[in-house]
Amino acid sequence: MNDSVHSQGNLGPYLAATMGPSGSNGQLAPRTIRVQKFAEARGPELERLHSIVAQRLGNNFRSQRNKRRRTTSHDNQASNRRRRKRQKGLQCDNPELKTQEKLPRRVRRRNELRMNPQSGFSTSGDGTKRLRTHVWNAKRFTMTKLWGFHLPLGLHGRGRGSRALLKRCREGVVVHDASYHLAVQLDGPEDSLISILRMVLVPSPRGHPIDGRPSVLCGSTYESAMLHHVGEPTGRPICPVICIWRPLNEKNLENAELDYSDNGHTEPRNSEGSKLFRQLWVWIHASAFGEGYNALKSACQKEMDAKSISINCFSLEGRIAKLELMGSGAFQLLKKILHPISCVPGKSFQLKKHSEAVSNDDKMKDHSSLKEEQFSDSTVLSLVVKDPRAYREEGVTDVKSVTTTKVEFTSPVQVEEHTIPSDDHGVSPPSSLVYPEIEDLWDASRGIKPPVDESVLCQERHDKRLEFYCLSDPNCRTSSTLEAFQSSTCPIMLLRKHSQAHSQEHTSLGWFIILPLSWVKAFWVPLVTMGAHAIGLREKRWISCEASLPYFPSDFPDCSAYTSLVAAEAAASSSKADLRPRKLRPMKIPIPLPWSTVQTAYDEVPSLEGNSQIPAGREIYNMRTSRELGLFNERFGGHLLLFPHGVGNEGSLQKALINEVVPCQDGIIQFKDEKKLYFLRVILRAFREGAFEEGAVVCTPHFSDISLWSSRPENYGKGLQISESAVASYFKEESSGTWVLQTPLDPLARESHRRGIGFVTTGFVRGSKKPAAVAICEATSLARLRAEQWSEMHVKRRKEEIYVLVRNLRSSAYRLALATIVLEHQKEDVKSL
C-alpha cells in the first residue's frame, strides 16, 4: 500500500479514548490511515502554520549562520595548504603587501602588552586603561572595570580565602599594584603652596615641627588629609590624599636664611627675601581624581589671581606609580630586593657600601642592620637602587640608621668625605658611590629612562653561562646601543605607612614604593618571586578592616566617589537578580544605604516645642578631626558625652568614666542643623557572639536589652528579635528608587522595633582573630546612648565603649555590640588604606 500507513502496536490508550462509557458503543480507531486524505483534511491548518512561520522569518527559510554546525572546520585540506603557500610566496616577493596586511588581534595585543613605554598606560578597545601588571594579574585574578582601569578584584571563586590571607599578612608579606592612584604636582613659592593647601585640605597643613618630629615641609615625612572644594572646609569632601614635599637641596640652602616669624616657627627665604620655589605632590585616588584635580586647579587659579604669581599644577598620570607592601615581613623583603647605590641630594641620611674585602659573612655580621622600628611613621626615604632583576650578591649595600632630627644635605656627586649620622661612628663612603648622572624621581615630568629590556638581560645571563663553560664567542658581544635610552638604576621613594594609634599591638601596616611607571614590572616580578603574595581590591579591603582603617571609597559615604560606586553595585545586583526566577530571587535590600532614614531616627527625639517634623534633603557629614568634634560639642554647650582626643584635659574620657554624676543631656535637643547630619566612624566588636555584614543597621538598645545579654549565659539565645514579615518591610522602596523606613503600627511589633542610628560600611572578615566591623553612626545619638547607659550602670560597670544593637538586613535577630569612637583615641581620622 503506497498511500496508506498501517498502525501496529498497542492501541489500548487510543481505543479507551474513542470508545464510549460502556466500552462497546464507541467507534473504533481505523486500522489504516490514508495519507492523502489526511493531508487534504489538515491542509488549511498547515497553510496557516506555514504563513505564520514565513511571516516571522521574513520568507527566509535558510539556516541561520550562527546555527550552522561547523563540521569541516577541522579538515585541513590540501587545497587550503596550497593557497596559504601561494600567499606566503607573494608576501616574500612583494614586501609592500606584507606591510599593508593587518596582523591578527592576538598578535597585535601580545605585542602591545609586551611593550614598556617610558610613560602612559596602554588601553583596551573601549579606552579602559591597563596597569603595567595587567597580564600577570589577568592570569590569576578576576578582573573588573573600575574608575577607568582594568583592576584585579580578587581570586577566582565566591570571595573566600580571607583566613589564609590574614595569616599570610601576619606572618609574611602581600603586595598590591596601586598604580591607579594618581599624583598631581604643584610648583610655586612655598607660602603660596601652603595657602593653596589650606584652602582645600582638612586638617590644614602644619608648617613647623610638632613634638620634636621633623616638619612635613622638609620632605622627610608625608602628611594625610581630606581634600575639599575651595572655600568649603565643612562641605562635601572629595577624598583622602597624601601630600609629599620635595626636600630642600643644597643649592637652595646656600642662599637661604632662617627668618623667624611671629608665631615662632621658621620659614626659609633666599637672600633677596622672596619665598623659596618648592615642589609638592598630592596623591589622589582614581575614583575621585577628576574632582580632586579640578579643586586643586581652582585653588591655584584663586591664589594666582590674588598674588599675581605663576603656579604650575599638572597631572603626573602615566609618569609615576605606586606599589603597596603590607605585612610583618615587608621591611625584610625590601632589604632583599632594594640595593641602594646612592641617596638623592637633599636627604638627611647617607648610604654605606661595603667593599669586596669585607664581603665575607663574619665581617658582615659586625655591621648592624637596619630595623623597621628605627623609622617613624610617615617617613619618606629617597633612594637610587640597582635593577632588582640583574642583582648579584657581590653588590650588597647597606643603609645605616640615622637620626631624623638633624638635617644634613649631601650630594652624591661630590667626592668629599662626609660623616654618616648614626648611633655608632660614621664611615666615609668610598669613591665608588659617585654617579654623575643620577636621576631624581621629582623630575619624572621630564621623563626617566626605562629599565633594560628583559631580552637583553636574558642574553647577558646566557653569555655568562657560556663564558663559564669556556664556550663564549669573543666576536659575538651584546650591543651597547641601548645604554642611551635605558638604565640599570632607578630612583624610588619609600613611604612608611601609618600604624594605628589605638591598636594594642601598634604594628606597622607596611610601606609604599613610589617609582617610575616604566619600572613597575621590573620590581613586580622580583617582589613576587622573593615571597610577596599579590592581592586584589577585595583582599586589600579585608586587610584594611583588620587594621581598623577606613577603606576608600566604601567607608566614606559623604563622598561622591562612594555614591557612584554603590550606584554601580546596585545596578549590577539588580541585573543579576533579574536573571533568576522570581521565586528564587533573594530578598531585595537597599544597596545604596538609606542614610536619610537616620534623619527619621534623629528627629524622633521630642523637641522642647513639641515639633517632630522631619526636615528633608539633609546631607551627611562625617567628622574626621578632633577639632571638628570639639566645635560640634560646643554647639550643645559642652553637654555631649563625646571626648575628642587631645582637646583639653578637664573633659577627658577617663575622668568622666569614674564621675558618679552624669551631665544632663537636655542640651542635645537645643541645636538642630537643618542642612546636615553629623556622623562619626566607630569600630564595632560583637558582645560574645554575632557576625556583622556590610549594610547592617546599627540601632539604639534599651537598657533591658543590655541586661538580658550581660546577665547570664543561658539568656544568650533569648535576644531581641523581630518577626519575619518585619524583616522584609523594615525598609520600603518607593517608585522614585529611594528607600524609606517603615515604622510598625502593631503594638507588639513596635515593642521589638529599635531606632536606627547608622550603618555598617565594612563587615566582619572571616578568619580574623579579633573580628571588627566599620560603621558610621550619628554623633548625638551616640552621646545620648552613653549618657543613658552610664546613668543606669554602676561606676565600676561603665565602659568607654557604647552598647549598640546591630541587625543584618536579611536577619531577624539583633546582636549586642560595643562601639568604639575612633576620634576619642586619635586626633585625626583621615588615614585610609
Q: What is the mean pLDDT of the chain?
A: 77
Question: Mean pLDDT across the stretch 300-326?
Answer: 93
* Other Cβ atoms within 10 Å of 424 Cβ, number: 10
Q: Which of the two residues, 671 and 53, has the higher pLDDT score?
A: 53
Q: Domain check: are 482 and 629 in the same one?
A: no
**More confident call, 32 vs 203:** 203
Contact 225, 206 (CB under 8 A): no
Task: Give yes or no for residue 422 having a pLDDT over 60.
Answer: no
Q: Are residues 608 and 482 in the same domain?
A: no
For residue 249, being part of any structural domain is answered with no
Q: 41 pLDDT exceeds 70?
A: yes
Does position 267 have pLDDT exceeding 60, yes or no?
no
Judge if 723 and 600 occupy the same domain.
Answer: yes
| pLDDT tens-place string over residues 68-89 | 665 555 555 666 777 777 777 6
Does residue 428 register a pLDDT over 70? Answer: no
Band (pLDDT 50/70/90 cuts) for residue 429 is: very low
Q: What is the pLDDT of residue 284?
A: 96
- Does 508 have pLDDT greater than 70? no
Domain co-membership, 465 together with 614: no
Query: What is the average pLDDT across 212-235?
Result: 83
Are residues 675 and 816 located together in one domain of the fold?
yes
* pLDDT (0 to 100) of residue 546: 92
Residues 688, 771 contacting (CB under 8 angstroms): no
What is the mean pLDDT of the segment spanning 451-474? 83
Q: What pTM did the predictor assign?
A: 0.76
Helix (H, G, I), strand (E, B) or coil at 327: coil
**How far is it, in rounded angstroms, from Cα 112 to Cα 420?**
46
Confidence of residue 737 (pLDDT cuts 50, 70, 90): confident
- The verdict on residue 707 lying in a domain is yes
What percentage of the chain carries pLDDT values higher than 70? 71
Strand partners, 284: 182
537-546 and 162-171 helices, crossing angle to 10°:
60
The 3-state DSSP class for residue 496 equals: strand
- Residue 717 confidence (pLDDT): 59
User: Tell me, what's the pLDDT at 476?
Assistant: 63
Region 21-47: mean pLDDT is: 74
pLDDT one-digit tens code per residue, 568-601:
999 999 899 989 998 888 888 888 898 888 865 5
Domain carrying residue 466: 452-486
Residue 91 lies in a domain: no
In this predicted structure, the answer to whether residue 478 has a pLDDT above a threshold of 90 is: no
Q: How many C-beta atoms surround the C-beta of residue 194 within 10 A?
A: 19
Do residues 602 and 751 both lie within one domain? yes
- For residues 480 and 615, membership in a common domain is answered with no
pLDDT for res 391: 63
Residue 62 is assigned to a structural domain of this protein: no
What is the arithmetic mean of pLDDT over 486-501? 82
Domain end (from 439, 460, 486):
486
Q: Does some domain include residue 737?
A: yes
Identify the domain boundary among 39, 56, 73. 56
**Considering the domain boundaries, does residue 797 fall inside one?**
yes
Q: Does residue 402 carry a pLDDT above 80?
A: no
| Any domain includes 719 | yes
- Supply the pLDDT for residue 261: 39
Angle, CA of 114, 116 and 121, to the nearest 5°: 100
Do residues 479 and 613 both lie within one domain? no
DSSP string, 576-638: HHHTS-GGGPPPP--SS--THHHHHHHHTSPPTT---PPPSSPEEEE--BHHHHHHHHHTTTT
- pLDDT at residue 791 is higher than 90: no
- Is residue 94 predicted with pLDDT exceeding 70? no
137 domain residue, yes or no: no
Q: Which of 441, 460, 486 is the last residue of a domain?
A: 486
Q: Identity (one letter) of the amino acid at 194?
A: I
pLDDT confidence band for 775 (50 / 70 / 90) = very high
pLDDT for 648: 58
The pLDDT value recorded for residue 244 is 93
Q: How many domains does the chain have?
A: 3
Q: Which of 302-311, 362-371, 711-720 has the lowest mean pLDDT?
A: 362-371
In tens, the pLDDT along 598-621 reads: 865 555 544 433 333 445 567 888
